[in-house]
């Protein structure tokens, strides 16, 4: 067998080993979100809309954790390639310091002033009241989430994706069961509606955090210890800030910009908000394969670059991109296939149903745009420590193009709602020329590890 053929076999074997658990994990995550929306469908359209708007804070926080986790992962993946576990523990501690600080601030706002948080997205008193009761309990979720996401990111970066998947299965399974119990009042429990969804989410995240500590007890290398936050390494802290903060800034810039889409749509019509909550669920399901490939590729490329084999990493990146394009096409077909079922079971009014149909069709191709950009910006580039490009690209795209365009067409030109949504969904494709140009340059392939990482006593 030729060396090239062996490399291909090795690449696809490793990608499959890493990707399948992540796909299962992402599918479960999408299934839980789907279950929330489906169950709330029986409570009422206002509940769906309120939770959809309040969930923007969870979405932004997730991107914060994703940005911090990405910075930690790209460093840990490369240091794992060098078999430096002590450096990985130090990076985990640095990441926990940032994550817990941010989680604590958001949780405090959720506990004390949830009404003001909801007013950012809607002026409807009913939606503000429902969403506030949801956010107040979700503050507990944010605190647990800030720890679990960091630890699971570290586990994935060293290839332990199956353990991460099992913990997510536990949390997601419990979330669905408790949702049903508190929404429908099963087993003698009170019918709590939206509050029940928040309680179920907080409980499942607390159980997931407990599971992380249990896994850590039996782990021989990567453990979860809050004491790691006190490990001092100026070198790693400097590298983490240099690499993670641009990644964090990129993800927050993108997620806050994406949340502004909800602000725009929320001030146009409650019907489009309800439709968009269902569209988001379907799009997430269709994107599962794309994002799993991007996550797996980041781990694999990071390990290879940490060993110093930069040419091999470029070869693997090319194959990963081809897999992403295929997965994006499959994701679009999934959205198209499930559209009739969604339209059949959705309990929305006639106007919202019309919005839902067209918005789903728009997302059959939108998935391809987001998949390719995620694979390159958040996958390939970050694996080599190139996080600055994503920050610049996402910030310009969101805040100089998509968000201003959305406000202009919605409130100045006053175009129909669906035209506003269609134009907002051009944001990913506008980035393509610059993203592909940067990819072809190949400057992203770097070994970012250091020989000495700890301060002298």
Task: pLDDT tens for the chain, 457 residues: list them.
Answer: 455 556 677 888 888 888 888 888 777 766 665 666 667 766 777 787 788 788 778 877 877 887 788 778 888 888 888 888 899 999 999 999 999 999 999 999 998 888 888 888 778 888 888 888 888 988 888 889 889 989 988 998 888 888 888 888 888 888 888 888 888 788 887 888 788 888 888 898 899 999 999 999 988 888 888 889 988 888 899 888 888 888 888 877 887 888 899 889 888 888 888 898 889 888 988 888 888 888 888 888 988 898 888 999 999 999 999 999 999 999 999 999 999 999 988 878 889 899 999 999 999 999 999 999 989 998 899 888 898 999 999 999 999 999 999 999 999 999 999 999 999 999 999 999 999 999 999 999 998 888 777 754 3
Q: Are 208 and 168 in contact (CB under 8 A)?
A: yes
To 5 degrees, how large is the angle CA 353–CA 123–CA 403?
Answer: 75
- Distance, in Å, from the CA atom of 75 to the CA atom of 81, rounded to the nearest integer, reads 10
Q: What single-letter DSSP state applies at residue 230?
A: G
- Every domain of the chain and the residues it spans: 3-441
- Distance, in Å, from the CA atom of 69 to the CA atom of 65, rounded to the nearest integer, reads 6
- Distance, in Å, from the CA atom of 318 to the CA atom of 276, rounded to the nearest integer, reads 34
DSSP string, 86-100: HHHHHHHHHHHHHHH
Backbone phi and psi for residue 119, each to the nearest 5 degrees, phi listed first: -65, -20
Contacts of 159 (CB under 8 A, 6+ apart): 18, 80, 299, 303
Closest CA to 359 of 375, 328, 391, 336: 336
Q: What is the pLDDT of residue 457?
A: 38
457 by Cβ neighbours in 10 Å (0-12 / 13-18 / 19+) ranks as: exposed
Q: Are 236 and 75 in contact (CB under 8 A)?
A: yes
Instruction: State the maximum Cα–Cα separation within the chain, in Å, rounded to a whole number.
Output: 70
Give the number of other Cβ atoms within 10 Å of residue 161's Cβ.
24
Its pTM stands at: 0.76
To 5 degrees, how large is the angle CA 190–CA 195–CA 201?
Answer: 105
Q: Are 100 and 181 in contact (CB under 8 A)?
A: no
Q: What is the pLDDT of residue 11?
A: 84
**If you count them, how many residues does the chain have?**
457
């Amino acid at each position: 067998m030729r060396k090239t053929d062996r490399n291909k076999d090795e690449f696809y074997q490793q990608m499959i080993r890493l990707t399948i658990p992540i796909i299962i994990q992402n599918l479960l995550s999408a299934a839980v979100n789907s279950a929330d929306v489906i169950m709330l469908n029986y409570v009422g359209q206002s509940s769906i809309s309120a939770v959809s708007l309040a969930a923007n804070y969870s979405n932004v926080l997730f991107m914060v954790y994703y940005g911090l986790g990405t910075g930690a992962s790209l460093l840990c993946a490369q240091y794992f390639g060098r078999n430096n576990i002590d450096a990985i523990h130090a990076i985990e501690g640095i990441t926990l310091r940032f994550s817990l600080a941010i989680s604590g601030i958001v949780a405090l706002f959720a506990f004390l002033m949830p009404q003001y948080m909801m007013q950012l997205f809607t002026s409807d008193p009913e939606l503000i009241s429902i969403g506030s009761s949801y956010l107040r309990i979700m503050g507990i979720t944010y605190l647990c989430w800030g720890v679990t996401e960091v630890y699971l990111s570290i586990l994935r970066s060293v290839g332990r994706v199956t353990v991460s998947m099992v913990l997510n299965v536990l949390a997601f399974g419990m979330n669905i069961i408790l949702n049903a119990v508190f929404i429908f009042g099963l087993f003698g429990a009170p019918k709590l509606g939206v509050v029940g969804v928040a309680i179920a989410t907080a409980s499942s995240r607390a159980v997931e955090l407990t599971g992380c500590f249990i896994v850590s007890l039996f782990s021989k290398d990567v453990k979860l210890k809050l004491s790691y936050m006190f490990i001092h390494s100026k070198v790693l802290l400097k590298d983490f800030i240099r690499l993670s903060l641009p990644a964090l800034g990129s993800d927050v810039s993108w997620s806050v910009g994406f949340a502004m889409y909800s602000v725009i749509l929320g001030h146009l019509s409650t019907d489009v908000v309800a439709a968009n909550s269902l569209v988001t669920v379907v799009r997430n399901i269709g994107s599962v394969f794309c994002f799993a490939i991007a996550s797996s590729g980041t781990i694999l490329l990071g390990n290879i670059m940490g060993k110093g084999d930069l040419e091999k990493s470029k070869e693997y990146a090319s194959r990963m991109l081809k897999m992403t394009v295929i997965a994006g096409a499959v994701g679009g077909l999934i959205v198209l296939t499930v559209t009739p079922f969604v339209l059949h079971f959705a309990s929305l009014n006639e106007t919202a149903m019309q919005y839902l149909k067209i918005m789903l069709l728009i997302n059959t191709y939108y998935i391809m745009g987001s998949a390719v950009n995620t694979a390159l910006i958040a996958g390939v580039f970050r694996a080599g420590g190139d996080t600055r490009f994503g920050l610049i690209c996402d910030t310009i795209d969101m805040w100089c193009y998509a968000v201003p365009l959305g406000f202009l067409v919605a409130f100045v030109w006053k175009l129909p709602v669906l035209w506003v949504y269609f134009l907002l969904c051009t944001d990913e494709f506008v980035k393509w020329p610059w993203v592909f140009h940067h990819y072809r340059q190949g400057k992203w392939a770097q070994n970012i590890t250091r020989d000495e990482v700890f301060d002298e006593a």
